[in-house]
Amino acid sequence: MARIRSLLAIQEIIMRRSVPLLLPLLLAMTLPLSAMAEELVILHTNDTHNHLQPFKDRDGSEVGGAAHRAAVIAAEKKSHPNNLVLDAGDVFQGTPLYTFFKGEVDMKAMSLVGYDAGALGNHDLDDGWANLKTQLKFAQFPMLCANVTTTDGDPVFLPAMTFLRGKIRVGVIGLMGAGAWNNVAVNSRKSLKFNPIVPAAKKWVAALRDRVDLLVLLTHNGLQEDQALAKEVPGVDVIVGGHSHSTVPKPILVPNDNQNGIGGTLVLQAGSYGRFAGRLTLDVEQGKITKYDGELIPITTQVAVTGNNAIDSMVAPYAAKVDTQMDQVIGNSPSGLSTAGKFGGETPLGSWLADMIRESGKAEIGIINSGGIRAELSAGPVTVRKVFEILPFENFVASMDLSGQTLIDLSAKVVERLYKQQAGTLQVSGMSFRGKDGKLVGPVLVKGKPIDPKRQYRVAIVDYLLGGGEGPYFDKHSKLTVYHELLRDLMIARVKTQKVLGSPDVGRIVIEPASH
């Protein structure tokens, strides 16, 4: 109990919270387990990525927006008084509102929505812990993470909280997965330490399990990883997850040895960018789930914001400050450059950007990580705003010398990841390779000729890759690293120079049909 009070005090200092933050926990520790079935509704989002205003989805429909999200959540809370509103991380990064204001607008908007707690996402650390700490001052909800500490092992975030909803005591534990942590740039995670997720989860589940009716892990970990976690950590009733941007229409029940009435753990995730709010409805009786149902509620501009326009009013002056320069037209893309299939092989926009990186670094080969390309380039005028949406991260081009063998190994790893449908795929320029059944087929080519394993090649990449987030190919093998311009600035300049954007050549990454 003293340990938990200490952790709460740390979070109070970080967020400048008041004493009432302690009350849900203290009350939950003193009340008996519920003796009658009660309804609890968990409303959840994840990976909203700074999409505070409505935007056009791939099908052209207007979706999202924090005000419309607030309206949906307010209606659900009115219908279901026993509710908990959770977000599974990656609130930051994705539109110019983050680039200019670094999360301040997000924290204010989420507070107006009425979140009870959020998880730490990797992109929430894009500008480091110092920035996140500053932005948390605008939040009226705690950010939870039990397994990211100082390098000395001291708590940074509140690891867990309990909430009293009716007579139902709910424990919520925040966790980040290893894959998410590895996506945090090295410079952004200075002074912080990642601790393995499974031991941390087991520790806090053991601490809270006997004190609550329902135990929830709020994770930024990925859908597959959450399903594995449900099998590895007993005693968890629900995992509300994020990171993989997975749209899970109905709760996934992962069978295990839980004696919770359903014989398993429910795993949830609600897509990305605030397109949906997830809703899980549970009936809980004497610490057991007697009934459950769940769905995703679409967030569209058809949702009336009456009574919730405080968010739009709050966002408007911030948006106005960036609109003038952001809406400047700098070029035209007659056919557009798609990102479709960027995790399945080459994609037009990825190849175009890799060409840009290669040219900027005066290199033979250009490489960009697929995950760093956050939007496609639709047909028509190209604005500065669109460049910011495509490349929201503060990344630079860096060039270095890599051996041919390193590039062969890298190509083999990309083919393997594509086959296994894993993250960490790349878009390339100046080189090409083929794969089948997860293996390289034939030689890796540079400018149409087989690569020489012993030769050194000049390679230009995104500096994010220097941290080893996609593997130890760039941070350990470089003889000399030269930093060039900010990626967004390069794209703006290239669009202005080209004026009319054409499609790049194809055949850089070819995946042959699988064997039968």
Write the pLDDT tens digit of every residue in 240-291.
999 989 999 999 999 999 999 999 999 999 999 999 999 999 999 999 999 9
pLDDT at 436 over 70: yes
Q: How many Å apart are CA 292 and CA 42, to the nearest integer? A: 11
Query: Which residue would you say has higher pLDDT here, 175 or 244?
Result: 175
Q: Report the range of poorest mean pLDDT among 303-307, 337-341, 429-433.
A: 303-307
Give residue 244's Cα distance to chain centre. 7
Most confident of 38-52, 300-314, 335-349, 387-401: 38-52
pLDDT tens per residue across span 86-106: 999 999 988 889 988 999 999
- In the chain, the domains with their CATH numbers are 2-27+40-319 (3.60.21.10), 327-511 (3.90.780.10)
Check whether 156 has a pLDDT greater than 50: yes
Instruction: Label residue 191 exposed, middle or buried (CB < 10 Å: 0-12, 13-18, 19+).
Output: exposed
pLDDT of residue 23: 36
* pTM, rounded to two decimals: 0.78
Residue that the structure tokens 């086959």 belong to: 419
Residue 485 to residues 4, 218, 372, 382, 478, Cα–Cα distance (Å): 46, 38, 16, 20, 19
> Which amino acid is located at 195 in the chain?
N
Beta strands in 34-113 (DSSP E): 38-45, 55-56, 62-63, 83-87
Confidence of residue 13 (pLDDT cuts 50, 70, 90): very low
439-479 confidence digits (pLDDT tens): 999 999 999 999 999 999 999 999 888 866 676 778 765 55
Collapsing DSSP to helix, strand or coil, 118 comes out as strand
Structural contact between residues 37 and 156, judged by C-beta atoms closer than 8 angstroms: no
Report d(CA 461, CA 426) in Å as an integer. 10
User: Which pLDDT score is estimated for 8?
Assistant: 40
Q: What is the mean pLDDT of residues 292-305?
A: 93
CB within 8 Å of 97: residues ≥ 6 apart: 50, 52, 53, 105, 106, 315, 318, 319, 322
Shortest CA distance to 31 belongs to which of 152, 171, 211, 153?
211
Q: Which of 360, 314, 301 is nearest to 56 (CA)?
A: 301
Q: How confident is the model at residue 27 (pLDDT cuts 50, 70, 90)?
A: very low
> Which phi and psi (to 5°) does residue 397 adopt?
-85, 135
For position 323, what pLDDT does the model report? 87
Give backbone dihedrals phi and psi of 419, rounded to 5 degrees, phi first.
-65, -40
* Mean pLDDT, rounded, of the chain: 90
